[in-house]
Amino acid sequence: MDNVRWKVTDPLGTEISLGEENFKYHIIGQHDTKDAKVRADIEPQAKFAVEHPRFIIRDLQCSGRMKYLNLINIKDENKVYIRTIAVIVETNGEVVTWFARRTINDNLEEGDVIYDARNNDLQI
């Protein structure tokens, strides 16, 4: 992996890291200026979401990846928006991307929730 921007351990004991190149060229670089700024501004909240997720679920879009979910706040001019942050993590523990969204639209099946912060017995 390229230079590590940050590295944390999730509640399941998995080491998760964000590479500098992935941050610059994928998470920030492949987006318009406004979206790139929002993504950069919420980076500390993305890191926190990996360390202290509300949920860890299977990524239904890409087999083997996990999605770390939590609530965040996004400031925009004189407003603050509460959004869900989803941090996508590869099976090798590398952060792929993150994004904020208004709703959670994942239609999960039994076994798709890997971790629920309110229920320690759910951890696999």
Q: pLDDT tens per residue, the chain (124 residues)?
A: 559 999 999 999 999 999 999 898 888 887 778 777 888 889 999 999 999 999 999 998 888 899 999 999 888 788 998 999 999 999 999 999 999 888 887 888 888 999 999 886 665 5
Angle 16-74-57 (CA atoms, 0-180°, nearest 5)?
40
Q: What ranges do the domains of the chain cover?
A: 4-104
Scanning the structure block, which residue is given the tokens 């987006």? 31
Contact 38, 74 (CB under 8 A): yes
pTM of this structure = 0.89
